[in-house]
Every structure is written in structure tokens, then in C-alpha cells.
Structure 1
Amino acid sequence: MSFAVTRTSRSFVAPCEETPRGSLGLSFIDREPVFRYVVRSLHVFRHGREPARVIREALSKALVKYYPFAGRFADDPDGGGEVRVACTGEGVWFVEAKTDCSLEDVKHLGPPLVIPEDALLPMPSPELKPLDVPLMMQVTEFAGGGFVVGLIFVHTIADGIGLAQFLNAVAEIACGLPNPTVEPAWSREVIPNPPKLPPGGPPVFSSFKLLDTTADLSADHINHVKAQHLEITGQRCSTFDVAVSNLWQSRTRAINLDPGVDVHVCFFANTRHRLRQVLPPEGGYYGNCIYPITATASSGRIASAELIDVISIIRDAKARLPDEFAKWAAGDFKDDPYELSFTYSSLFVTYWTRLGLLDVDYGWGKPLHVIPFAYLDIMAIGIIGAPPAPQKGTRVMTHCVEKEHMQAFLEEMKGFA
């Protein structure tokens, strides 16, 4: 059964008051090419009353404080070749839509999606270049009062924590506050700016035919592994540690590389706590403030190891963060850590449950769940999130194996349910 989504309004939402004009420089991390892409996500809410109107009005007010989101990315006018934010006040591209079905009819957008995500995400007008617009939004109202906020944002403007900070600001205003409780801070100039390495050759990216799948790890399984890890090692591990280790081992077994071939898992760690001395003490920084951590081991070791041992490999990599980040900030590195290698032996993982996106409340309750689509065909990726409330446990959404390895991957992940 198919359900049609009708877009009823398309326009720019500009700040409701005059905002500064001019050009803002981005940080060293913001400008990294690895972040010059769009992230798409759906935020599913059980009910609301005229949510499109309420969110639109709150967005216009929030953009007064967060005016860079209303600007456009542009090349440095001085010819430096670096992208900047032109504070034009043009606004966020905003789409209103409706559908005759209820969220219950589409199983609250649980997998597999009954409505294609493209129908729930904002379609830009033809003259817009998506990589020039920091944020686009679509609010789709469902029969019975449910609604979905579809977002497309360019990672260059903010990391996941920064995006959540902005959305929570919109939500607070929607709930009646005159101003967000957290004052936004641009402060891109205080982020470390180590010397650039000499340019190498142009990067070469392979394109894979990766398939999507979703698997849930039960809370019982996660808690059992945590208890086992504590008993064996005397140390506590996190839900992230368990989930990423499950995923890395399952994928490594499924793709079945030669045992001597190295496999890698990479994830980004928040580094705001490493920059307390330079960032505003009251918080509010919403730019990219994350650093890549990579764990590497032979395929044979990961495939045959006990899960507790894989967790130890992940935790050892995380423990290197303070030293590696300090060296990078001081310019003491030979290779740019943000220049990542996209091969089939590499897995990239993002963690969406601790960003603050599940706390966004426009006045009618927090989202049932958030569905990310941070997928590119040049990288094998896994996204660790949460299943729809009130379900417990952890949801692992992947775009990480090709067709020939999918069945084996699904069987491996079943063992961790």
C-alpha cells in the first residue's frame, strides 16, 4: 500500500529581526573536506497542533540568534580558496507537507519505510545548490496529529551536538520562551589551526554498491556484555563500546577478508572538554568540535576474538584521544587525521543517541525516534541510535555491506539480538 505526501508550501524562513551581515570564517575542522556533505534525518513525533506553523514561527525567531544558519556558504572573497559563511539573512528553506495517513498506518516509520524518505525530506527549489544552504527543513503533518520533521543540513556548519543545540533552541521558542536558554557562540577562531600539510594528489574514492539494513540489540544483551566486561577486566564499558564492537565483528566476519588484512573502524569523538580553556565557559559552541579515532586490527583477530577483546581494542583507541588530539592541535603530526581512507576494509560509525536530538520538544513531547540517513556510497557506515519509544535497547542502522555479504552479515548480527 502506498501513501502520498503533498507539499503545500515552499519558501525561505528568514530571521524575524535584522541580523548582522558580512562574512564569517569557519574553523580548521569545519573546513575539512570530510564534512562538506549533507546529512539527512527524519524526526518522528506522535502528535502536535499546527506543528508546521508553530515550528516555522519559532524558527524565524531562533534565526535571530543563529543567523549563520540563514546565510550561504561561499568561497573566500579574498581568493584564499577557503569556504566561509556569507551572512545574507536569506533564510532556511522550509517546506510544509501533508499526508492522509496516520503514523500508525505507516508503523511510526519503522523499518522498512513505507513512505520513501525523499517524500519526507525537503526538496530544494531548482536554483538552490544544496551544499550552499546550511539547513533545509520539511514538516509533514499526518492524519491524527502526528508529524515528521525532515532535515537536510550541511555538516560544515555544525556537528551533531551543535545541530541538536540549534533545534532545541527552536523548540524552546516554540514552547513560549522569548530566547533560547543556551546563548549560541560562533567562536570558530579559537579552534586549533595547525599548519596545513603540503597538498598531495587528488583523493581517489571507490564507489561501492552498499545495501541498507537495520538491526536491534536488546537491552538485556547490552547489559549482559557490560557485566561480563566488568567481571573480566574490572572496567566499565559503554553501550557505544558494545554496539560498535558487535557491528565491527559482524561485518568483519561477513566480508571474510584474508585473515592477515587489516580492518579499521573509525568514529568521531566530541572534543569540547579538551578545549575548555578557549571555548566560552557557559557553553553554546555549535561548530564542528570532533576528532576521528581509528581502531585497527587484522581481520583474523577481529573475526575470531571474544567480544570482550574487541571491546578492549575499541577502548584502547578511545584512550589515545587526549594524546592524539593534543599533538594534532600543536601541529605535531605527519598525516592529516581528518583525511580518511574510504576502502571496503574500513567501517565508519556515528553515534546519534547522545547528541541531544532525542530531547527536542516543540511543545507536544519528545520524538518517538530519529532516523538518520548519513549515507554515502564511498564509505561503509553504521549509525548507532535508538528504536522508537517505548522500546528499549539500541538500533544499528547500516549501509556497510554489498549484496554478496548481506545474508552473512544479517546472520552475524542476529547473534547479538
Structure 2
Amino acid sequence: MSESSEIPDCYYQNQPDLVLPRSPTPRDTLYLSNLDDQKFLRFSIKYLYLYKKSVNVETLKCSLSRVLVDYYPLAGRLRISEEDEGKLEVDCNGEGALFAEAFMDFTAEEFLEASRRPNRSWRKLLYRVDARNLLDIPPLVIQVTNLKGGGMILCTAINHCLCDGIGTSQFLQAWAHLTTKSNDPLPISPFHDRHLLRPRSPPNITFTHPEYSATAVATTTAGDDTGIQSQWLEEMLQSQSQSLVPISLTFNPSQILHLKKLCFPSLKCTSFEALASHTWRSWIQSLNPPSSLKIKLLFSVNVRKKLKPELPRGYYGNGFVLGCAETTVKELVGANYYSNIHHGVKLVQEAKAVLTEEYVRSMIDYLEERRVKPDLSMSLVISQWAKLGLEDLDFGEGKPIHMGPLASEIYCIFLPLVGELDGIRVLVSVPESVAEKFEYYMNFMMGREQEEEEEVTSLHCN
């Protein structure tokens, strides 16, 4: 496992600018739904793009000013609701997005090599706003870092309370579109109103919502082993205080197809379902918890088309909920890889099937009565970025040669492979003590099972 090296410091010739909408925008208050205003979403989604050729900064500012007319809430500011101190809303005051320009003594090729294993030094690629809390940070912060020998790194921070992954991709594509075709209308007009996801009156909670409830301590027929589980969880919490190591692993289409074939013909599955099950299993194996411990996999599911009426085209707010697969360590991790990955895939499919319109409405009502966070005590959280079109962002000088998150210390992210359709890059941070084991189970174990499968096939053929 190679060590990642720090990148050089950025230097700024000028203070950041506030880019305002080019023309007057509505001065109103944007209501945030309970899916928007969840406590675990009160952070910014930070994207990093590397380009071989740079784009004129003034051109980028000009097109940003134009797109903020359409996406005017991103030029506003978050504030606490006067009607409910526990909720946030957006003051659409047109104060603008923060835009910083920097320079770094580093080439695009050097950064591309460094991107094989991201590290915390990448944070310097996004201007650090001096703020007391989240409300003092503009919902949209951008930094363009010009590189030695040409090329640029574009970093964006978009507050998750305003947009989900689909919404951020929609906004960034709109910005890129106006950079190259300034006089053209947007291909997708943004839909701002969030009242389609307002809670029912009175709220009606019809499901238990395990994605938010605490993981129950399991017992076995051999006796009560809650003490062992409690001790392990305590040790796990202590280990999480050690430095986290980012792991980046690529899976090409043939490797993903191999994972899917392990479930066929008894169970057909998608690429996400197969890779999610494999990643969840590898994560649990590397942590080595007690076999009777209950564990969860939480993953984002787009529900725009599950509701009646469907959320309108152009809806860029949070239109996703968390699917929750739950089992015990023993059921997910066992001697038989084939049956275990089959079990994991089936759990993911069942968790997706539960997400009916009534379930989503019940979740919104649940969040109205209980402002809770998801249970992360023994949960792997996967966010799917691989099918959002993020890798196609072109500001006029070509598509990026690398894209990914600026940092990944909380969730596991499935990223697109730049230049390889249907490939997926898995990025996750794990405690340093288990990093090598996690890579082993993700790579070598799958390779070994593939070899065994080929041997079995060969024997049958002979």
C-alpha cells in the first residue's frame, strides 16, 4: 500500500470575490423539506475536477453570474427559520457565491499521479471560509487553481441542504453549458419549490424506519454475548480516533460482471447491488466484529419517480432517501463467498423494494416529529456518484482527466471511471489498522474466487 504525498501549497494573488447574479432575482425565502434539512446533511458536497487545459477565470465568473440568475438560491444564505428554531431555510438575498483564484507549483500530470491515493492536503485546493458555523458559509464556494504548465483544478462546495447529487450535477452542467454557449437557454430549467415534500398534517408514521433507529444488540442461542459486542464497539470507537486512510479501488466492467454472475441465475442484480454487497462484506471482514453483531448498509436511493405526483424535471433539491439493509456479521461474512454475496445482494434489493411512496411519506413525517440522524454506529454508508454524469463536465477545454470528492472521510463513494464507461471507482476511508485487510478482501479475495470459479467451469467442461 503506497503512501500518498502532500501537494504544494496554493497561493492567492487576490482575495476571493463574491459573484452575484447578473440580473435581479426573486427576494424570497426558500422552504427546505425534511429531506433537505436533515442534520446529517448539514455540510457541503465538495467536488474536485482536474483539467489538462485551463479556462479563463473571467469567463468562468461571467457564466457563473449568468447561471446564478436561474439558480438564485445558491446565491443566498442559510438561516434559522423564524417559525421553527430546529429548521433551516434559505434567504434568497442575492449576496452571491464565493469565488477564489489560486496558483500552485504543480503540473496536471503530477496531480493525476497523486490522485491514485487522495489525502488531506487536497483541502488546500478549496478556499477556507473563516466562519463560526455553517450559516456563515455561502452555500456555493468555488476555487480555481491554475497549475504549472497549463491546466487547472476546479473545486466546488455546494451545501447539501440545497442540492443532492443529482441536483449538484444539474447545476454544474448548467454552469458549463453557459460557459460554452452563453446565449443558449438551459437544457433543464431548475425547479425550486420544495413543498411537494412537505409533511402530512397530522404526520402519519406507518413504518419503523431502521435507517434512523439504533442498531439492536443481538444475542445467540449459545448465550448472551452483549458484553463481547459492547467491548468490541468501544474498541471500534477508539480505533476511529486514529487517522483514517483513504482507499481508492477501481473495478472495470469485466470485474463487475463477474460479481453479478456470482448471483446468477438464481438472482439477477444490478452493478450497484453486486458491488455494494461485495464492499459491505469486505468492510465487515476487515473490521472483524463479533459474529452475532447486527450491522447495516445505508445507501442513497433516488425517489423522484416513486412519488405521486412525481417530482418535476429539474428538481434539484434532495430527492433521495436512505435504503437500509440489515443483518448479522455471521450471515454476511462466512466461509461460502457465493452464498454470502448472494445474501448481501438480496438484502440490498429488499431494502430498495421497501421504498414505496408511502414509506417515503412516512419517513418525511418521522423526520417532522423526530429530528434524528441515521444510525452510524455499525453502518457502512454508500453514496452513488457513478451515474450522475459528473465526469462529463466540460467548460470548453475538454472533459476532466480526474474527478472525485475533495475529501472522503465519512461515506463510501462509488465514482465513475473517467474514460471507461460502466467502470466504477470505490473510495472509502478506513482506520489505518485495517486498511491493508480491506484492500486484500476487495481485491485478492475476489480474484481468488474468480480463479476457483474458472477451475470449476473447466472441470465441468472436461
Give TM class, smaller chain.
0.7 to 0.9
Task: Give the match for residue 30 of structure 1.
Answer: 36
**1:8 Cα deviation from its structure 2 partner:** 3.0
Task: Give the match for residue 46 of structure 1.
Answer: 52
1:109-148 deviation per Cα after TM superposition (whole angstroms, max 9, x unaligned): 4222489212211222x35744442110101122333211
Determine the C-alpha separation between the residues in 1 that align with 2:366 and 2:40. Answer: 21
Task: Give the match for residue 214 of structure 1.
Answer: 248
Task: Give the match for residue 455 of structure 2.
Answer: none
Cα 1:105–1:123 shift into 2, 3 Å? same
| AA partner of residue 296 (structure 1) | E
Cα 1:404–1:3 shift into 2, 3 Å? closer
1:191-246 deviation per Cα after TM superposition (whole angstroms, max 9, x unaligned): 14145699xxxx9x96833432212223221112223433332x2x2221122111
Contact conserved, 1:187 with 1:279, CA < 8 A, in 2? no
**1:359 Cα deviation from its structure 2 partner:** 2.5
**1:75 Cα deviation from its structure 2 partner:** 1.2
**1:171 Cα deviation from its structure 2 partner:** 0.6
Which SS does the other structure have where 1:268 is aligned? strand
1:232-285 deviation per Cα after TM superposition (whole angstroms, max 9, x unaligned): 32x2x22211221111000111111111111111011011112351533xx111
Which SS does the other structure have where 2:266 is aligned? helix
| AA partner of residue 266 (structure 1) | L
Please list every run of 5 or more consecutive structure 2 residues that lacks an aligned counterpart in the other structure.
206-213, 215-233, 448-462
1:385 aligns with 2:390: no
Q: 1:311 aligns with which of 315, 320, 345?
A: 345
Most deviating of 183-192 and 107-116: 107-116
1:157 aligns with 2:142: no
Q: 1:172 aligns with which of 174, 177, 188?
A: 177
**1:68 Cα deviation from its structure 2 partner:** 0.4
**1:392 Cα deviation from its structure 2 partner:** 7.0
Task: Give the match for residue 399 of structure 2.
Answer: 366
Task: Give the match for residue 408 of structure 1.
Answer: 437
Q: Higher strand fraction: Structure 1 or Structure 2?
A: 1
Q: For residues 107-118 of structure 1, what are the structure 2 equivalents within 5 Å?
A: 107=112, 109-113=114-118, 116-118=121-123
**1:384 Cα deviation from its structure 2 partner:** 0.9
**1:82 Cα deviation from its structure 2 partner:** 2.1
Determine the C-alpha separation between the residues in 2 that align with 1:221 and 1:392. Answer: 11
CA RMSD in angstroms comes to 2.9
Determine the C-alpha separation between the residues in 1 that align with 2:51 and 2:122. Answer: 15
Which SS does the other structure have where 2:374 is aligned? coil
Q: Which structure has the larger Rg?
A: 2
Task: Give the match for residue 247 of structure 1.
Answer: 279
Most deviating of 264-273 and 327-336: 327-336
Task: Give the match for residue 288 of structure 2.
Answer: 256
Cα 1:106–1:80 shift into 2, 3 Å? closer
Task: Give the match for residue 385 of structure 2.
Answer: 352
1:232 aligns with 2:266: yes
| AA partner of residue 90 (structure 1) | E
**1:38 Cα deviation from its structure 2 partner:** 2.2
Please list every run of 5 or more consecutive structure 1 residues that lacks an aligned counterpart in the other structure.
none
Contact conserved, 1:291 with 1:325, CA < 8 A, in 2? no
Task: Give the match for residue 94 of structure 1.
Answer: 99
Q: 2:317 aligns with which of 269, 273, 287?
A: 287
Determine the C-alpha separation between the residues in 2 that align with 1:14 and 1:25. Answer: 21
Which SS does the other structure have where 2:37 is aligned? coil
Cα 1:324–1:311 shift into 2, 3 Å? farther
Which SS does the other structure have where 1:93 is aligned? strand
Q: 2:374 aligns with which of 340, 365, 373?
A: 340
| AA partner of residue 314 (structure 2) | G
Determine the C-alpha separation between the residues in 2 that align with 1:144 and 1:338. Answer: 49
Cα 1:369–1:336 shift into 2, 3 Å? farther
Which SS does the other structure have where 2:144 is aligned? strand
Cα 1:368–1:395 shift into 2, 3 Å? same
Q: For residues 316-331 of structure 1, what are the structure 2 equivalents within 5 Å?
A: 316-322=350-356, 325-326=359-360, 328=362, 331=365
**1:48 Cα deviation from its structure 2 partner:** 3.3
1:277-305 deviation per Cα after TM superposition (whole angstroms, max 9, x unaligned): 1533xx11110111111101110111115
Determine the C-alpha separation between the residues in 2 that align with 1:335 and 1:77. Answer: 18
Most deviating of 62-71 and 131-140: 131-140
Contact conserved, 1:327 with 1:333, CA < 8 A, in 2? no
Q: Matched residue pairs, number?
A: 401
Which SS does the other structure have where 1:385 is aligned? strand
Which SS does the other structure have where 1:140 is aligned? strand
Identity, % of aligned positions:
26
What TM-score results when the alignment is normalised by the length of structure 1? 0.87
**1:354 Cα deviation from its structure 2 partner:** 1.3
**1:389 Cα deviation from its structure 2 partner:** 3.0
Determine the C-alpha separation between the residues in 1 that align with 2:131 and 2:367. Answer: 42
Contact conserved, 2:304 with 2:310, CA < 8 A, in 1? no
Determine the C-alpha separation between the residues in 2 that align with 1:334 and 1:88. Answer: 27
Determine the C-alpha separation between the residues in 1 that align with 2:353 and 2:188. Answer: 30
Contact conserved, 1:171 with 1:362, CA < 8 A, in 2? yes
